[in-house]
Structure 1
Amino acid sequence: MKTKIKAVAIRNVIKVDVWRRWLGKTAKHIAVRKSNIETAHGDIPLRIYQPPGEGPFPVVMYYHGGGWVIGDLDVYDPLCRDLCDRSDCIVVAVDYRLAPEYPFPAAPEDCLAALKWTYEHIALYGGLPNSIAVAGDSAGGNLAAVTSLQARECLPGVVKGQVLIYPVTDHYEPGTPSYIENANGPVLTRKLMMWFWDTYLQNSPLLEVGQTRHPRATPFMRSDLDNLPPTLLITAERDPLRDDGANYAARLSQHDNTVQYSLYAGACHGFVGLQGPNPHHNKAVDEISAWLTALFGV
Structure 2
Amino acid sequence: MNPLFKFLLKLTSSPRIDMQEDYLWVRRAQNLFAKGPSRGFRFLDEKIYALDENQEETHEIPVRIFYPKEKLHDEAIIYLHGGGWVIGNIDTYTRACINLADKLGRIVYSIDYRLAPENPYPHGLNDCLRAIEVLLTPIEGEENRKWILMGDSAGANLAAAVSLRLKEENRVLPDKQVLLYPVTYWDHTENSPFKSITDNGYEYGLTIKKIQEYMEMYAPDESIRKERFISPLMAEDLSHQPDTLIITAEYDPLRDEGEAYGEALEKAGNKTRVHRILNSVHGFITYPAFAEPLVEAINVMKEFLDEE
- Seen in structure 2, the aligned counterparts of structure 1 residues 188 and 269 have a Cα distance that, compared at 3 Å, is same
Query: What are the superposed Cα offsets for residues 226-259 of structure 1, whole Å, 9 maximum, x if unpaired?
Result: 1111101000010110011111011011111111
Q: Percent identity?
A: 31
CA distance in 1, matches of 2:39, 2:276: 30
Identify the residue that residue 251 of structure 1 maps to in structure 2. 264
2:88 equivalent to 1:77? no
TM-score, with length taken from structure 2: 0.83
The size of the alignment, in residue pairs, is 282
Indicate if the aligned counterparts of 2:20 and 2:217 stay in contact, CA closer than 8 A: no
* Structure 1 residues 16-31: aligned runs within 5 Å: 16=32, 19=35, 29-31=40-42
Alignment-derived partner of residue 195 in structure 1:
213
Alpha-carbon distance change, 37 to 145 in structure 1, aligned in 2, over 3 angstroms: same
Name the residue aligned to 2:115.
98
Distance 1:292 1:29 in 2: 27
What residue number does 1:49 align with?
Answer: 66
* In structure 1, distance between residues paired with 2:204 and 2:267: 31
Q: Which amino acid aligns with 1:116?
A: E
Cα displacement string for residues 35-57 of structure 1 (whole angstroms, at most 9, x for unaligned residues): 11111121100001122457872
Where do residues 205-224 of structure 1 align in structure 2 (5 Å cutoff)? Answer: 210-224=223-237
Distance in 2 between the 1:17 and 1:263 partners?
A: 29
Report the AA paired with residue 184 of structure 1. Answer: Y
Tell me if structure 2 keeps the 8 A contact 1:58–1:128: no
Q: Distance in 1 between matches of 2:287 and 2:70?
A: 28
Query: Does the C-alpha gap of structure 1 residues 263 and 152 become closer, same or farther in structure 2, counting only changes over 3 Å?
Result: same
SS at match of 2:110: strand
Q: Judging changes above 3 Å, is the alpha-carbon distance between structure 1 residues 55 and 238 closer, same or farther for their aligned structure 2 residues?
A: closer
Superposition TM-score, scaled by structure 1 size:
0.86
Task: Give the one of 41, 44, 56 matched to 1:33.
Answer: 44
What's 1:178 paired with?
A: 196
- Matched AA of 2:146: S
> What amino acid sits opposite 1:130 in the alignment?
R
> For the structure 1 residues 128 and 285, does the alpha-carbon distance in structure 2 shift closer, same or farther, using more than 3 Å as the test?
farther
1:113-128 → structure 2 map (5 Å cutoff) = 113-120=130-137
Which of the pair is proportionally richer in strand?
Answer: 1
Equivalent pair of 1:4/1:101 in contact (CA under 8 Å) = no
Aligned counterpart for 1:264 among listed residues 270, 274, 277: 277
Match of 1:188, as an amino acid? L
Do structure 1's residue 280 and structure 2's residue 293 form an aligned pair? yes
Partners of 2:211 and 2:277 lie apart in 1 by 20
Q: Which runs of 5+ in 1 are unaligned?
A: none
* Secondary structure of the corresponding residue to residue 159 of structure 1: coil
Corresponding residue number in structure 1 for 2:80: 63
Instruction: From the superposition, tell whether residues 138 and 278 of structure 1 become closer, same or farther in structure 2 (CA, over 3 Å).
Output: same
Secondary structure, aligned partner of 2:145: strand
RMSD between aligned alpha carbons? 2.6
